[in-house]
Amino acid sequence: MKRRKKINFNSIVKNKKLPILTLDSRWHELFPDEKKTHRIRDLEQKLIKLLKTQGKLVNEIKDMKNLKKTLMSEIVANMDIENDSKSKSKEKKLDRNKNYINELNKKMDNASNRLADLPYEIKRVNEELLVESIKNGYDRIHDNQEDLSKISDWIIKTREELKRKIVLKNDMETTNKQMYSYLHDVLGPEIIEAIDKTQEKK
């Protein structure tokens, strides 16, 4: 068997503009579950998880921004503090909202930093998944080529055998017709009919 040359697929896919494989219907069509290796399955799940995290963070940041906006509006509404019992309640609410905003700012910073890193992680895992898919794909192509070669040989042999059988069938049919015609001429139709009835009973 001819040895295949080792190719560095990592360098081939590096920094190429690639589709996200788990979102690509053609990838799913060519790599159904039964054709996936353990490595492909692991990377696929990792990529799905990263994409879900990205979507979740985008929504969380959006919600936090809306909440911060609401809290800021409440702060502005409670700015006019005077020395009465209502003012003390407003002051407490003001302080509480400021604390919430500080907490939200920290959470938004953390979420934004994580969100900024995610595209690079998604890109890296997607490239790894493509490399594994290429390896698996070429192995399957190679195996299919070997099977195709065997099937092609079988088709050629079967075609030759079919031709031979067709010729044999035609010869046998011709011989039967000639034999029947000869016996019919020699023995006459009445005797042939009687023989035919006897043969049918058998």
The answer to the question of residue 10 being in a domain is: no
pTM over 0.85: no
Mean per-residue pLDDT for 146-153?
Answer: 92
Give the residue, 3 or 132, on which the prediction is more confident: 132
- Domain of residue 87, residue span: 17-156
Residues 49 and 127 in one domain: yes
Alpha-carbon gap, residue 91 to 69, rounded angstroms: 19
- Specify whether 168 is located in the same domain as 151: no
Is 181 among the domain residues? Answer: yes
Mean pLDDT (whole number) for 61-89: 78
7 assigned to some structural domain: no
What is the reported pLDDT for 155?
Answer: 95
Q: Residues 6 or more apart from 70 whose CB is under 8 A from it?
A: none
Same domain, yes or no: 98 and 197: no
Q: Tell me: do 174 and 143 sit in the same domain.
A: no
Which amino acid type is present at position 62? K
Looking at the structure, do residues 137 and 190 belong to the same domain, yes or no?
Answer: no
| Same domain assignment for residues 84 and 45 | yes
For helices 85-187 and 189-201, angle between their N-to-C axes, nearest 10 degrees: 140
Mean pLDDT computed over 42-69:
96
Is the pLDDT at 60 greater than 70, yes or no? yes
* Within a domain: 12: no
Residues 140, 50: one domain? Answer: yes
CB atoms within 10 A of CB 130: 21
Count of structural domains within the chain: 2
Encode 28-86 in three state secondary structure: HHHCCHHHCCHHHHHHHHHHHHHHHHHHHHHHHHHHHHHHHHHHHHHHHHCCCCCCCHH
Residue 91 pLDDT level (bands cut at 50, 70, 90): confident
Give me the chain's average pLDDT, please: 88
Per-residue pLDDT for 59 more than 50?
yes
User: Can you give the pLDDT at residue 1?
Assistant: 45
Residue 100 belongs to some domain of the structure:
yes
The reply to whether 182 and 85 lie within a common domain is no
Report if residue 4 sits inside a domain. Answer: no
Q: What is the DSSP letter of 5?
A: P
Residue 134: which residues within 8 A CB-CB, separation 6 or more?
9, 12, 13
Nearest to 115 by CA among 36, 56, 70: 56
Q: Are residues 59 and 114 in the same domain?
A: yes
Do the domain assignments include residue 6?
A: no
Structural domain contains residue 11: no
Same domain for 38 and 75, yes or no, is yes
* Same domain for 187 and 96: no
Kindly state whether residues 185 and 126 are assigned to the same domain.
no
Could you tell me which residue, 85 or 133, shows the higher pLDDT? 133
Q: Give the C-alpha separation, 52 to 56, whole Å.
A: 6
Give me the percent of the chain exceeding a pLDDT of 70: 91
